[in-house]
Structure formats: C-alpha cells, structure tokens
Amino acid sequence: MTGGHTDPTDPAGPAPKRRGRPSRTAGTTGPDARTRILEAARTEFAERGYDKTSIRGIAKAAGVDSALVHHYFGTKDEVFAAAIELSFEPALVIPAILGGGTDGLGERLARYFIAVWENPASRAPLLAIMRSALTHEAAAKILRGFVLRRLLERIAEALDVPDATFRAELAASHMLGIAMLRYVIRAQPLASAPPEKIIEMVAPTLQRYLTEP
Amino acid sequence: MTGGHTDPTDPAGPAPKRRGRPSRTAGTTGPDARTRILEAARTEFAERGYDKTSIRGIAKAAGVDSALVHHYFGTKDEVFAAAIELSFEPALVIPAILGGGTDGLGERLARYFIAVWENPASRAPLLAIMRSALTHEAAAKILRGFVLRRLLERIAEALDVPDATFRAELAASHMLGIAMLRYVIRAQPLASAPPEKIIEMVAPTLQRYLTEP
C-alpha cells in the first residue's frame, strides 16, 4: 500500500458520469433530476431488491425518461453502485474521518458506520444491498468491485501499516457483522444496546486493525 | 451472567426429540435414519433456501416417510435449527473450546469458526442460512431463537465479564462479517488470505471481547 491523498473531486467519486447526450425525449435535466433519479433508485433497490429493479422502473419512479437514467449513470449496475454510495457518502465523509489522523480513527469510523445504520433512510437500502449481495452474484460483484474497492482502498491508502487493505477489510467485516446481528437477525441484547455502548467496545478493535503495526 | 457448566448430555443439545410415535408407514428408523434426515435437510435448505424447503421434500431426499421427519424433529423450523447445529456441533465443540479456560480462548474460537467455514460441507448450508435469515423473518427468528441463544449463551455462561452475552455477540458478529466478506462477497485480499493470517489478526479481538473486564 502506498500512501496517497483522498481527493473529494476525484472522478471516481459520485460526480455524474456524462456519457453521450441525453435523449431528446428525456424529462427534466440538471442536478435536481440526477438527485431524484438516485433517490428513486435507492428506494427501488431497497423495496424490490437488485434483481427486480430496472432502469425503466427507476425512471418511472423519478418521473424522467429511461434515457436520462442511462445518461447520468450508465448501466443498471452503475446506478446500483451510485445508490449504495448515496448511503455512505464516501467523498464527503471519508476525508473527514481520515483527516483527523490516526488518533481516534477507530472511534470515528465506528461512529460513522453506526450512524449510517441507525438512520432509517440509509438503513433500508443498505439492508437491501446486503440481501442482494447474498443472493445474487451480480450484486455481490458490484459491492466487491465498485463499492468496497472505492471505500476500503481510500481508507487503506491513508494507513501506515502492512496489509492495509486486508486490515480495512477486517474492520469493515466487523461493522457488517454487527449490522447483520443488530438490524437483521436482531439478536438480543445487541439489537437494543445503545449505539454509544457498541462504539465504545468496537472502536479499540478498529483502531488496532487500522493502526497497530 | 452466572457461571455455569456446559453439559454434552444437555437435552438442549442435538439429541433427537421424540414426539409421539412414528407413523406405521415410516421408512427405516433408528440413528441411521435420523442422520440421513438431518443431512438431507441440510442439503435441501442449502440448495433451495428456507422458504422452498418442505418436510415432504426432506423426507423424499432421505428416503423416509414425512411422519418420521416430524417424529424426530417436530416442525420445519426445528429441522432447520437442527440442520444449522449440524454445522456447528455445539455440544461437542463448545465444551472443548471453553474447557481450556480463558487463556487462548480467542484463538480457539477464531480457529473453530474459520474451520467450520473453510469446510465446504458445512459452508454451503451456512451460506444458505445467512441468505434465508436475511430474506425471511421466519428464518431470522430461528437463528435468533434456537441457534444464537444456545450457542452464544453457552459461551457467555462460561465467561467472567460484565455483559457476557453482549460480548459474545460482538465476537460472533465479527466472525459472521468475515464470513460474508470472505466467502460471499469475496473481497480481496481477504477472500484469498490464508486462514492462519485471519486467525492471527482476529484472535486478540475475540480474546478482548470475551475476557477483558
């Protein structure tokens, strides 16, 4: 792992991918339409799962033409990746978490993940993603390729430890497992534990994975 | 959490639950039939998922009458729980893990979970269980009720820390998350890391959760 800088203007971030011109039959354009498409996509994927969601259905829910969805995001897989990123907001949040240096990094990460999961607006689509990734190889591939790569490698680049990506994956796996047991399986007492209690226990684990030699 | 002893002859273990008499039309009986049913159940749940598996299908795959499946296991949910336990063998393994005391407990637990997941015979049904638990509340309920309760509370009872069940859940969540990232999403480099490397990193985390005050 070489050191690197995260750049919020990185084209790998959630900036719109413009491919060709939008169809003349497309509905409203501009950032409002893009946001509306993304939110419609997130709701569609959350409610129908990866398999049953279509570009056409997303366009209909957003009140735009399918061509505009293609214009902003490309394929269905790319809309899926963008919808996932909407929950994590990596371009905004990751630099803030990493910007504070290694002191307290574990706690900031734990706090960030728990906050994303505690918020019902981001939880529903995340659950849908987990369901899809477990049941459809196509969805697992997107999570592996677009999302984890982008999210975890941004974190890994900022770390000064051997096997940084492996360690970022161990940290991510823990947060993922907590999400499953707490929000899906709802095992007690974890499911009703206050977020602060979880953060307090988990932060030192993440800190160790991400910073200890 | 009060201290307690695990007992391999505990009726909560995988001993057959005899309810009423088997139907006269039932096929072969005895421990062979029971084992055959359990293995057929594991395969059926792994291949079809929780929702599409039926007592009748399990009976057919095992070459016995449905009544014999009911006789040994009761309801479909109880067969499901028994099929999960077949992978974890808690009555055999948990006492061995806990019997060694708290020294090295984290490593023994990490080694046990990774071994269960590395073995293709137990991995397939576990993946099916995770899929089912994520997509069907009935399966999540079984996991929460029959399995986690039995598995985690056995561990928790042997611990001498506050919030023992909560801590056992944190440890379990980590192993569950690793299983998802490694075997389902197959994020690299975690997916191809040697088991020993994972155990080495994870054991101190489990040890801290389970033993540190």
- pLDDT tens across A92-107, in order? 777 888 888 888 999 9
Note whether A171 and B190 are within 8 A (CB).
no
Q: Worst-scoring range by mean pLDDT, A195-204, B66-75, B133-142, B187-196?
A: B133-142
**Full set of structural domains in chain B with CATH:** 30-75 (1.10.10.60), 89-211 (1.10.357.10)
**Token code pair at residue A69:** 């969805």
Cβ <8 Å between A190 and B178: no
Q: Worst-scoring range by mean pLDDT, A43-47, A196-200, B100-104, B133-137?
A: B133-137
Residue corresponding to tokens 């449905």: B66
Nearest CA in chain A to B205: A205
Q: Mean pLDDT for chain B?
A: 81
pLDDT number for residue A86: 76
pLDDT number for residue A14: 44
CA–CA separation, A99 and A158 (whole Å):
9
Note whether B131 and A135 are within 8 A (CB).
yes
Q: Please tell me which residue, B23 or B132, carries the higher pLDDT value.
A: B132
Cβ <8 Å between B176 and A172: no
Q: Mean pLDDT for chain A?
A: 81
pLDDT number for residue B206: 96
**Token code pair at residue B211:** 């033993």
* Secondary-structure percent of chain A, ordered helix, strand, coil, rounded to 5: 70, 0, 30
Residue A16: pLDDT band (50, 70, 90) is very low
Q: Worst-scoring range by mean pLDDT, A149-153, A161-165, B114-118?
A: A149-153
Phi, psi of A72 (to 5 degrees): -80, -35
- B169, amino acid identity: E
Q: What angle do CA B144, B149, B152 make, to 5 degrees?
A: 115
Q: Nearest-CA distance from A40 to chain B in Å? A: 22
As a whole number, mean pLDDT of residues A139-144 equals: 82
- C-alpha closest to that of A66 among A17, A36, A19, A27: A27
Note whether B98 and B5 are within 8 A (CB).
no
3-class secondary structure per residue, B64-104: CCHHHHHHHHCCHHHHHHHHHHHHHCHHHHHHHHHHCCCCC
Return all residues near A25 (Cβ < 8 A) that are at least 6 apart: A65, A67
The CB density around residue A106, as the number of other CB atoms within 10 Å, is: 21
- CB contacts, 8 Å: A193 with chain B: 166
Residue A30: pLDDT band (50, 70, 90) is low
Cβ <8 Å between B163 and A204: no
CA–CA separation, A72 and A78 (whole Å):
10
pLDDT number for residue A52: 87
Provide DSSP, A6-53.
--TT-TTSS-----SPPPTT----SHHHHHHHHHHHHHHHHHHHHHH-
Is pLDDT at A113 greater than 80 in this prediction? yes
Residue A192: pLDDT band (50, 70, 90) is very high
pLDDT number for residue B29: 63
As a whole number, mean pLDDT of residues A137-151 equals: 79
CA–CA separation, B184 and B165 (whole Å):
27
CB pairs under 8 A between A and B: 127
Q: Worst-scoring range by mean pLDDT, A1-5, A25-29, A105-109, B194-198?
A: A1-5
pLDDT number for residue B10: 41
What is the b/e burial string over B61-77, where b = at least 16 CB atoms within 10 angstroms of the residue's CB?
Answer: bbebbbbbbbbbbbebb
As a whole number, mean pLDDT of residues B81-85 equals: 81
Q: Is the ipTM of this complex over 0.85?
A: no
User: Which of B134, B170, B202 is closest, CB to CB, to A131?
Assistant: B134
Q: Is A130 on the interface with B (CB under 8 A)?
A: yes
A12: part of which helix (H) or strand (E)? none
Q: Nearest-CA distance from A69 to chain B in Å? A: 27
Note whether A113 and A48 are within 8 A (CB).
no
Q: Please tell me which residue, A130 or A188, carries the higher pLDDT value.
A: A188
Q: DSSP code of A23?
A: P
